[in-house]
Amino acid sequence: MTSSNIRPASDYPPGGDAFRHRHLIGIAQLTPWEISYVLDAAEEWVDLNRSGAAKHDDRLAGLTIINAFFENSTRTLLSFEIAGKRLGADVVNMHAAQSSVKKGETLIDTAMTLNAMRADAIVIRHGSSGAVQLIADKVDCPVLNAGDGRHEHPTQALLDALTMLGNEVRIVAPPTLTPPAIDRMHVTTFTDMDEGIRDADVVMMLRLQNERMDGAYLPSAREYHALYGLTPKRLEKAKPDAIVMHPGPMNRGVEIDSSVADDPLRSTITEQVEMGVAVRMACLDILTRRKRGVAGWN
């Protein structure tokens, strides 16, 4: 992108140029104004959801959305289902346990099957990195990535950004869990939890994803909690008004103490859930505008 094409995040072009992507596979390929466009749209849905007005919106009436979850994630699935139904769409959930993939069907076969069903949008969760992109390349409708292994979970990133926006990002983790390319991510890294959260405005804890580990990353959950768990005493290192976030589901007593997670003055975990529905409503709305023939999106 040349310097002449760079525009402020708050200044996005009109119509379909505001979000030029057919799918939402990841965040890296989005421009600042495309991210801003989605977040601004989501913020409107937050207000409408809180007022109850969103329940009367049917802009996706007549459209069919398939939530194809090859990996269990109740929270994300429920959020996408509510988002689709709140917009008036017909929503069909395909659970991993019911999938033909369990019977030996290849991912490409599954993609072809989904495409033959003529869905208007497909939301996909898969345990393998790159699987969502593979399916997106084989279908004729917009695809939203609801998490693909160790790769990306774009709507989670967007809802976290909607809950809080910051400038300096710090990563705190044991060396075994620190991404190898962390030096290219423009973040400050710490292996000491107390130092990493000192004077922070936001402390976001992440779940230990045991299903993606082979047992060699950590000695024990108890030791992890002792070194990296967010306790009331450790939270005192952050700013007095710092908020606490967690994408869920939580391992209480491992990465976060219940007293911190349930603190009504500091925890925004339930607000993240609320932002998740709004973000997913915005994404479903935006990605189906061409299909619906919305003015300026053809």
Is pLDDT larger for residue 59 or for residue 8? 59
71 and 125 Cβ atoms separated by less than 8 Å: yes
Chain position carrying tokens 């450790």: 234
What value does the mean pLDDT take over residues 105-127? 89
| 155, part of any domain | yes
In the set 125, 246, 266, 280, the catalytic residue is 125
Q: Is 292 a catalytic residue?
A: no
Is pLDDT larger for residue 218 or for residue 131? 131
The per-residue pLDDT for 133 is 94
In the set 75, 85, 252, 292, the catalytic residue is 75
Q: Is 176 a catalytic residue?
A: no
Q: Are residues 74 and 141 in the same domain?
A: yes
Is pLDDT larger for residue 259 or for residue 11? 259
| 297, part of any domain | no
In the set 23, 86, 153, 225, the catalytic residue is 153
How would residue 203 be classed by pLDDT, with cut points 50, 70 and 90?
A: very high
- pLDDT over 60 (residue 99): no
| 223, part of any domain | yes
| 298, part of any domain | no
Q: Is 2 a catalytic residue?
A: no
The per-residue pLDDT for 7 is 56
Q: Are residues 145 and 252 in the same domain?
A: no
- Residue ranges of the alpha helices (H) in the chain? 32-51, 74-86, 107-116, 131-136, 154-163, 193-196, 221-228, 232-235, 258-261, 269-287, 289-292
Q: Are residues 20 and 150 in the same domain?
A: yes
Chain position carrying tokens 């607000």: 271
Which CATH number is 180's domain given? 3.40.50.1370
Q: Are residues 18 and 155 in the same domain?
A: yes
Q: Is 76 a catalytic residue?
A: yes
Q: What is the mean pLDDT of the chain?
A: 88
Report the predicted TM-score, pTM, of the whole model to 2 decimal places: 0.87
Q: Are residues 15 and 76 in the same domain?
A: yes
What 3-state DSSP class applies to 288? coil
Q: Is 95 a catalytic residue?
A: no
- pLDDT over 50 (residue 45): yes
Give the structural domain span for 87: 3-159+273-292
The per-residue pLDDT for 1 is 33
Q: Are residues 120 and 178 in the same domain?
A: no
In the set 31, 76, 163, 288, the catalytic residue is 76
Q: Are residues 237 and 278 in the same domain?
A: no
- The 121-126 sheet, strands edge to edge: 90-95, 64-69, 121-126, 143-148
In the set 56, 103, 184, 186, the catalytic residue is 103
